[in-house]
Amino acid sequence: MVLNSDWTIIWCNKLAQQLVGLRWPQDERQRIDNLIRNPEFQTYIQQKQFEQPLELSSPVNEDLVLEYRMLQYGDDQHLLIVRDVTQLKLLEQVRKDFVANVSHELRTPLTVLQGYLEVMDADNLPNAAIWLKAHTVMLEQTKRMDALVQQLLTLSRIEAAAKVQFEDHIDVPAMLAMLEQESNTLNREKQHQISFSIEPGLLVSGIREELRSAFSNLITNAIKYTPNGGEIQVSWVRQHQKAVFSVSDNGEGIAPQHVKRLTERFYRVDQARARATGGTGLGLAIVKHVLQRHNSKLMIFSEPKKGSSFSFSLPAENLPKRKSIKAR
């Protein structure tokens, strides 16, 4: 908007009307500091120190962050540029949160390792029992840091990847058969009843390793977070023109306020339980980004004390429909 030397409005565009709430032509010749009543803006105008922009909430929507920048315009006029910087502020906050979370996640295992190493030296080695415990804990913490770094690299690689180049006919049933064997190994301690129902010949196009990561993360999460002796169903079936993957369990379930945030990086419903299971808080973030690159979306249905279901769909290849394998 263009202002006179006495801060009266000469002209404004439609975007200024939307962001600041001006009415045109009713507000023509009105002082801008009478229309924007924020004390910080009043001080900004009065002090006439316009080297730096001013950031304030929008007068019409407190969720919007506006940047006000005043420039000299001719001999006795000013140009007030108002810019919506809400998204930039959100991205900056995400970056800060990400750095803080990574630092926190690495600090804990490093502190444990440092603590054990500080009490060990050549002249004061622990006895066999203490060393066995220390060695086990240090190995667990090292694996935890390695898992975190690997998942961060995976997430970074997916986000930085160029345009998706889909592979033709990914054999998902064969991929899930391999994951079934891996899940049986992971399940030895938890002793869940895991059933796989896979439709033969149901193939898709996509990026093989990324889809494998999505399948694996969802299955692994169900095994880790379902209480011992639970029931988990994994299915891959055709529904109309879609191939639908789902993982359901009868675990503790998730409260509604947590469901919409599950795919955020490092977000955990239960911090203590996540650390006990070795979770990094990045698995579902990876799934989310993989599915976005495959034009899909993760659907989450959960109810406390009843269990959860995670599913997504992909375009199915035009292959003959066959009977599905019975759950085993």
Give the architecture-level CATH label for domain 2-84: 2-Layer Sandwich (3.30)
Q: What is the pLDDT of residue 157?
A: 74
Q: What is the pLDDT of residue 104?
A: 66
The CATH homologous superfamily for domain 163-328 is: Histidine kinase-like ATPase, C-terminal domain (3.30.565.10)
**C-alpha to C-alpha distance for 301 and 260, rounded to whole angstroms:** 10
Q: What is the pLDDT of residue 276?
A: 52
Q: What is the pLDDT of residue 176?
A: 96
Give the architecture-level CATH label for domain 91-160: Orthogonal Bundle (1.10)
Q: What is the pLDDT of residue 108?
A: 73
- Could you tell me the residue ranges of all domains in the chain? 2-84, 91-160, 163-328
Q: What is the pLDDT of residue 232?
A: 96
Q: What is the pLDDT of residue 109?
A: 79
Per-10-residue mean pLDDT, the chain, length 328: 94 92 92 93 92 93 92 92 90 74 74 80 75 84 81 74 70 94 90 95 90 92 92 95 95 89 80 54 87 92 93 79 46
